[in-house]
Structure 1
């Protein structure tokens, strides 16, 4: 295949969500002629999930812009070291440093309301053992995850949420691609899942181009897809050959 000068956008969803959370963003990017892929995120651990995202990027012929929401930001931070990744976009996301865990990054600032709404459960491992995963209490889901999304939508999101392995909070990032790749970040100022100060700190440390979505919830890609897509399009334009 002939390499495409316009980067392909790979949208990486975070915890307690799936790729459908990018639907409005995908539609906008497609309307602007930008190739886009939104793979499933396994949500089983930082190293293994980042390796999967990197494998998706490696299949693409030409440059890639990785966009990560929430926990997906940690994954693009590691997977973004792949040679064909041209830029990184953080959407209400973690942007850890090499050797830093999400728990350590979050611990720099006040604990968000999400922390009190997480519910643990065991899940089976291939070796016959068990591990712990978290979901958000369905009753708390609207307020801590998607306060600016219509109630009829949050009711569906709450029961369709995908759990995150507890180990994802403690596993350190093995690399920090933002040290070598240009980055952009959208801070959701009304976020109750990741403290907005955590988002700002990571984005500033990364030297990212930052925009703020005033009052937006953690589910900003659902509630304000055009704002999210506009930032991604800016990254695509800046990294196009």
Structure 2
């Protein structure tokens, strides 16, 4: 039986190269995989972009979202060819819910006090706000289980997230009709583990928890992440 295409969606403060270990693992199993670049300009427009990518994937797809990418797969996962959703240290919002509203159900994570604001121009001539993590705080907040030199490179090469991504409401919740899996990073200081557990439970996801994993779990534990994706493929193929 032909494997579905795995579509890996990165989150904020990162880029698609963060999936390097997971991609290697999946390809070693003969699983086709792509990791498109996430624009990080707003939940609605980013989800629309991901939907356009899925429309150009031949055959079935398994959507995997890390961090903010979890919100995007929740919306884009309604596409007909998506057969499973996999959340990795991710937001799992409900239809009509914003990420701020979901985060607000629980005590704030260390991320909240560690954000640095920037501005960027809009086509009409106005400007908007985007955020990164303060470089000094990045290793402990995002990548506590990564070597110090690697965490430093990740901090310096961050891709900022437009703040509108936190306030826009999710337009659909694909997990209501698609089977889902979730990996909870138990030592995550970017997205609280409580937020991850709540969303995964609400979605009825099959949950695996790594107690010592940081938010950078896709880099620090690529085999465990790939194993969960393989579980989703086996269950839906």
TM above 0.5: yes
1:9 pairs, out of 6, 10, 31, with: 6
Aligned partner of 1:159 in structure 2 is: 156
Provide the C-alpha distance between the structure 2 equivalents of 1:121 and 1:161, rounded to a whole number of angstroms.
Answer: 12
Cα deviation for residue 126 of structure 1 reads: 1.1
Counterpart residue number, 1:229 = 226
| Cα deviations by residue, 1:107-128 (Å, 9 ceiling, x for unpaired) | 0001000110001111101111
The answer on 1:150 being equivalent to 2:147 is yes
| Corresponding residue of 1:93 | 90
Instruction: State the alpha-carbon separation in 2 of the partners of residues 213 and 227 from structure 1.
Output: 9
Q: Is 1:102 the counterpart of 2:109 in the alignment? A: no
Deviation at 1:77, TM superposition (A): 0.1
Where 1:153 maps in the other structure, the secondary structure is helix
Match of 1:209 among 206, 209, 214: 206
- Structure 1 residues 192-231: Cα deviation after superposition (integer angstroms, max 9, x where no partner): 0001000000000000000001110000001101000100
Partner of 1:18: 15
1:171 maps to what in 2? 168
Partner of 1:41: 38
Contact residue 16 and residue 164 of structure 1 kept, 8 A:
yes
Instruction: Tell me the residue number matched to 1:32.
Output: 29
Give matches, 1:101-120, under 5 Å.
101-120=98-117
Is residue 7–residue 239 contact of structure 1 (8 Å, CA) maintained in 2? no
Deviations 1:84-131 (A, max 9, x none): 000000000000000000000000001000110001111101111100
Quote the residue 1:122 is aligned against: 119
Is the 8 Å Cα contact of residues 19 and 38 (structure 1) preserved in structure 2? yes
CA distance in 2, matches of 1:218, 1:182: 23
Deviations 1:105-164 (A, max 9, x none): 000001000110001111101111100000000000000000000011011000101000
Q: Structure 1 stretches of 5 or more lacking a match?
A: none
Aligned length in residues: 237
Partner of 1:70: 67
Alignment of 1:73-84 (within 5 A): 73-84=70-81
RMSD, aligned CA: 0.7
Give the drift of 1:5. 3.2
Report the Cα distance in structure 2 between the residues aligned to 1:30 and 1:196, rounded to whole angstroms.
Answer: 29
Q: Which runs of 4 or more aligned residues in structure 1 lie more than 3 Å from their structure 2 counterparts after TM superposition?
A: none
1: CA distance, partners of 2:3 / 2:234: 8
Aligned to 1:218: 215
CA distance in 1, matches of 2:109, 2:117: 17
